[in-house]
Amino acid sequence: MLNKIFLTLFFCLLAGCATSPTGRSQLIYMSDSEMSQMGLQAFDQLKTQKPKSKNVRYINFVNCIAEAITQETGGDWEVVVFEDDSLNAFALPGNKIGVHTGLIKMVDNQDQLAAVIGHEVGHVLARHSNERMSQKTAVKLGVTAVSAAVGTPTSALGQLGMSALGLGAQYGIILPFSRTHESEADIIGLDLMAKAGFDPRQSVNLWQKMAQASKGQSPSEFMSTHPSHDTRIKELSEHIPKAMQYYQHAQSIGKIPHCSK
């Protein structure tokens, strides 16, 4: 019985195998059209809940950067600047981009904001939302399969064991994969911004500013869905020489964005 359950789970997982833009194996269940529809619904909901910025300079600044980056990806993208003081931006399946005014105020130049927008678009290109949903489904299937195989635990020790299994999945699978997503989006975004003509070296300056803004309040890397600022800066720095090649080529063929706030 146990072997049959795990064999079924194995083939279920295998059917969802895919590859990310960086060549990493992924678990993908949902169709892209389903994810796009979910992204559209979420974005529409956000537009009804959050006030849109009326600052024309900010809107033009963001649109200028987003247009340069999305020219590298293709497709039609909707971009909205939200009046929100938090240091945040996001991109959703279905080609939706949102940027908060707090982040615009913090960045020093177009290249720093391009690093964030490139990163968020990187999440969409790598289908990270789909992968996250698929991972959670797989973990739930795994826990359910084990529970079905061993029976419903009645003792305190048995219940503790099932609880530990769930906790182990959270910190052993879900969170590390989320950090992988963040690191992967960093690299995809770095290449995107460089190909669009933005200076990838400014990504390091951006995360140094983010680290200062957090004032050491971020959780430890083990307990976080994001890499630590130090880890992120180190990984970006290691990839910058390659990104600089894209940047120099972009500049040589006339891709020189002039976006100012």
pLDDT in tens, 15-35: 457 888 888 888 887 788 988
Q: Which residue has the higher pLDDT, 212 or 162?
A: 212
Burial 132-147, CB ≥16 within 10 A → b, else e: bbbbebbbeebeebbe
- Residue 151 falls inside a structural domain: no
Is pLDDT at 5 greater than 70 in this prediction?
no
- Residue 209 falls inside a structural domain: yes
Q: Find out whether 175 and 135 touch, Cβ atoms under 8 Å.
A: no
Q: For residue range 107-139, what is the model confidence (pLDDT) as tens digits?
A: 999 999 999 999 999 999 999 988 887 777 666
Laid out side by side, the sheet with 96-100 consists of 78-82, 96-100, 89-92
- Residue 150 falls inside a structural domain: no
Q: Which of 120, 131, 182, 184 is catalytic?
A: 120
- Residue 261 falls inside a structural domain: no
Task: Specify whether 184 is catalytic.
Answer: no
- Residue 258 falls inside a structural domain: no
Range of the domain at 49: 2-144+161-252
Q: Find out whether 96 and 78 touch, Cβ atoms under 8 Å.
A: yes
Is pLDDT at 169 greater than 70 in this prediction?
no
User: Which range has highest mean pLDDT (4-8, 186-190, 230-234)?
Assistant: 186-190
- Residue 133 falls inside a structural domain: yes
